[in-house]
Amino acid sequence: MTSQTIANTPTPDQIRRAPKVLLHDHLDGGLRPATIVELARENAYTQLPETDPEKLGIWFREAADSGSLERYLETFSHTVGVMQTRDALVRVAAECAEDLAEDGVVYAEVRYAPEQHLEGGLSLEEVVEAVNEGFREGERRARENGHRIRVGALLTAMRHAARALEIAELANRYRDLGVVGFDIAGAEAGYPPTRHLDAFEYLKRENNHFTIHAGEAFGLPSIWQALQWCGADRLGHGVRIIDDIQVHEDGRVELGRLASYVRDKRIPLELCPSSNLQTGAAASYAEHPIGLLRRLHFRATVNTDNRLMSYTSMTREFEHLVEAFGYTLDDMQWFSVNAMKSAFIPFDERLAMINDVIKPGYAELKSEWLFRQTASTSGSVDSEG
């Protein structure tokens, strides 16, 4: 093992401390089980399958892993069910920011659908303002605990509904008040992104940013429409671009026209390995397309999707990838810089995060082996002397 290898192979603790960037995380998919139980009790929500936090956490993981779409969707009915008041939204958003910061995330874009939080009488605007307040509170608590994080919100429209333009206009009104972009989510099959062209055309006229869930379950047509009809800045998941890449027996790799376009245009892919395993996009971490996409230098990023349902975090995602592909701190930095380059905040702020936070953070981690080596050598010399 060379010194370079020693320097770059991350330990679990280094993975956790490494400055990470998260672009694809659902607010209603990352609640703490204990918070769900407490909010259910406070708001008279009686539908939970378990009221013990530990058992409830296990239920969420098992339901998400069951292979049943019905059970998977049921998990969100419970999290959304307890997120119908202002206080609940503030709390969930604050805890989200705290949890991400504790996990070493320095920048995150967290998405949610305002239209799903109106059952308690809140307006769309009140939902957005409550979540933004929670993110700011979470950032403040993180600073008090010695962590730094910046969180931007992505407002999501549900692709099976008919409120995309309304939510796009909402995202534009709050674009300088904590909201950094727009998204559509929900079942891809039968609900192509082109159903919401009016929303995307509006955002383009307003010079605003948007990502589209595409290429997770439905494949290349979904990716093509998201890019060429709708003009998406990023692809939410986009993992099925692998269907347009052919690996020959002799090792040659041939990219189709769409895959070449995505790579050449540096279109960011919001890859979510653990979630993709649950939805059948890959059979194992070792077989996940991220390995090939990394080698081919696509603009690949690593994300959590739904931390509660997938029992994951950014640290766990990278631990799986380090084990599967032998990734180093250099690889982690590459993914993190990719993500920061692809964020929806202004260019100068992205650049400052890369140069002043991310690169110095990885440089410090990569230097730690040298001091361990020095201490070890000093100890052996002292014992001999």
- Tell me the mean pLDDT in the region 271-300: 94
- Tell me the mean pLDDT in the region 37-65: 95
The whole-number pLDDT of residue 7 equals: 54
| Neighbour-count burial of 385, counting CB atoms closer than 10 A to its CB (0-12 exposed, 13-18 middle, 19+ buried) | exposed
- Tell me the mean pLDDT in the region 274-301: 94
The whole-number pLDDT of residue 127 equals: 98
The whole-number pLDDT of residue 342 equals: 98
2 pLDDT band, cuts 50/70/90, is: very low
Among the residue ranges 35-39, 150-154, 217-221, 250-254, the one predicted with the least confidence is 217-221
The whole-number pLDDT of residue 385 equals: 40
The whole-number pLDDT of residue 373 equals: 60
CATH 3.30.230.10 fits 3-380, yes or no: no
Tallying the residues shown for the chain, one arrives at: 385
Write the pLDDT tens digit of every residue in 115-125.
Answer: 999 999 999 99
- Percentage of residues of the chain with pLDDT beyond 90: 83
- Tell me the mean pLDDT in the region 131-145: 98
- CA 199 from chain centre, in angstroms, equals 23
| Whether the predicted pLDDT of 6 surpasses 90 | no
| Whether the predicted pLDDT of 72 surpasses 90 | no
| Whether the predicted pLDDT of 297 surpasses 50 | yes
Q: How far apart are CA 204 and CA 215, in angstroms?
A: 22
Among the residue ranges 25-29, 96-100, 140-144, 379-383, the one predicted with the least confidence is 379-383
| Whether the predicted pLDDT of 376 surpasses 70 | no
The whole-number pLDDT of residue 3 equals: 44
| Whether the predicted pLDDT of 226 surpasses 90 | yes
| Whether the predicted pLDDT of 325 surpasses 80 | yes
Among the residue ranges 208-217, 249-258, 302-311, the one predicted with the least confidence is 208-217
- Tell me the mean pLDDT in the region 76-82: 96
Is the Cβ–Cβ distance between 240 and 220 less than 8 Å? Answer: yes
Output b/e per residue, 191-203; b: 16+ Cβ within 10 A.
Answer: bbbebbbebbebb
Q: How far apart are CA 110 and CA 63, in angstroms?
A: 23
- What's the predicted TM-score (pTM) here? 0.93
- Tell me the mean pLDDT in the region 244-248: 96
Active site residues per annotation: 216
Write the pLDDT tens digit of every residue in 158-180.
Answer: 988 889 999 999 999 999 999 99
pLDDT: which is higher, 29 or 9: 29
The whole-number pLDDT of residue 384 equals: 43
End-to-end CA separation in angstroms for the chain: 28
Is the Cβ–Cβ distance between 172 and 203 less than 8 Å? Answer: yes
